[in-house]
């Protein structure tokens, strides 16, 4: 089966600019996750969707980050405006249903904010 797809793979922007990331999960997976991985740290969950509803967004900086999952399939994560500390790899993952189901990760988008 096809894996989790993400685009773009790399993005360089200046602070205060906007950026958007796209994710296409594995077909049939109900749950989609966005993680932020800062250099030297493990992935940190930003937001979790089940179908097109938000399950957990407690660690999403809502003043600048937003995410949506269209029709319970694809998802976009947006940052507006970006800060230097947003430089990180943004990982998308999906699982069949619950968080305890195996999560399959995409290749990630490496964001550099100058």
Partner 1 sequence: AQSVSQHNHHVILSEAASLELGCNYSYGGTVNLFWYVQYPGQHLQLLLKYFSGDPLVKGIKGFEAEFIKSKFSFNLRKPSVQWSDTAEYFCAVIAGGYNKLIFGAGTRLAVHP
- Residue 70 burial (C-beta neighbours within 10 Å; 0-12, 13-18, 19+): exposed
Figure out which of the listed residues 1, 27, 41, 70 binds partner 1, where binding follows CB under 8 A: 41
SS3 label, residue 99: coil
Give the span between the Cα atoms of 45 and 68, in whole angstroms: 15
Figure out which of the listed residues 40, 53, 63, 71 binds partner 1, where binding follows CB under 8 A: 40
Piece of the chain touching partner 1 by CB under 8 A; list 21-29, 35-43, 65-73, 75-83: 35-43
Instruction: Catalog residues that contact partner 1 under the rule CB under 8 A.
Output: 3-4, 33, 40-45, 48, 55-56, 91, 93, 98-100, 102-108
């Amino acid at each position: 089966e096809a894996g989790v797809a993400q685009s773009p793979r790399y993005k360089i922007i200046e602070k205060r600019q906007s950026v958007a990331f796209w994710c296409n999960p594995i077909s049939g997976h109900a749950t989609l996750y966005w993680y932020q991985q800062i250099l030297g740290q493990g992935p940190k969950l930003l937001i979790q969707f089940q179908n097109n509803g938000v399950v957990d967004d407690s660690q999403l900086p809502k003043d600048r980050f937003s995410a949506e999952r269209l029709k319970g399939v694809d998802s976009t994560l947006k940052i507006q405006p970006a800060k230097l500390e947003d430089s990180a790899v943004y990982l998308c993952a999906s699982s069949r249903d619950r968080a305890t189901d195996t999560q399959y990760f995409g290749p990630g988008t490496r964001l550099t904010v100058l």
